[in-house]
Amino acid sequence: MLIGRIHLRLTDRSTTVRPRVKPALDTKHRLLEAANELIWTQSYGSVSVDDICAKADVRKGSFYHFFPSKSDLAVAAIEECWQQSREWLDKIFSTQNPPLERIEQYCAAVYEHQKEKAKKIGKVCGCPFASLGSEQSTLDEPIRQKGKEIFNRMDKYLETTLRDAAREDLIGKTDSAAAARDVLALVEGILLEAKVQNDLEIIKRLKPAVFRFLGISQHVK
């Protein structure tokens, strides 16, 4: 449906208004969005190229124009998802914010994202990176490598935060890199539990659990 230069696309989920510019990029972007949505809320194995094409409203021929395989799409989709996450992660982990506030804000943002997703899907979906990484790491080396890359990038936010916190005597002296990896593991473990228990409330434990790990007892609820 064309309204002036605006292309109004009616889908089964929502009505999106998209300017008709750079159609190839638009098609690629729709495939990435569809892949992220379907794989996150279901699983990699349960979603076919046909499902992704149907969701993205793209013909199968176009799919293979952009991606040689479902695995290649998944790798690009995780990267896209990470780039989108950076929009809020960069703000939260800005060194302009006091270190412990970064952690508090991060835990709160994770809860809000999961809540928003659960509201739409009716299930706690957990971490998209960890879910795909957990499912495919023994099977698909490029997906595993991308998952590893994302974990390592996430570690950098946490490592700087912990180093800053130690420098300001907000936590005890610590190996920031090692502690950051354990904090991320704790976050991922709690998100996994929330998914398996299908219980958003579990995610509220993020902040007290991370603070307890860091020895900030006054903040533990």
Contact between 65 and 23 (Cβ < 8 Å): no
Q: Which of 69, 193, 65, 201 is nearest to 136 (CA)?
A: 69
Q: Nearer Cβ to a copy of itself, position 56 or 202?
A: 202
Pick between residue 58 and residue 194 the one whose CB is nearest to a copy of itself. Answer: 194
Report the SS3 class of residue 77.
helix
Tokens of 190: 């709690």
- Smallest distance from the beta carbon of 30 to a copy of itself, in angstroms? 22
Q: How far apart are CA 77 and CA 149, in angstroms?
A: 14
How near is the Cβ of 141 to a copy of itself at its closest, in Å? Answer: 9
Query: Least Å distance between CB 166 and a copy of itself?
Result: 14
3-state secondary structure of 140: coil
> Closer CB to a copy of itself, residue 29 or residue 212?
212
The CB density around residue 179, as the number of other CB atoms within 10 Å, is 21
Query: How far apart are CB 92 and a copy of itself at their closest, in Å?
Result: 20
Closer residue to a copy of itself (CB): 26 or 155:
155
Residues at the interface with a copy of itself (CB under 8 A) = 41-46, 121, 123-126, 130-131, 133-139, 144, 147-148, 151, 178, 181-182, 184-190, 192-193, 195-198, 202, 205, 209, 212-213, 215, 217
The half-sphere exposure of 30 on its side-chain side, counting CA atoms within 13 A, is 22
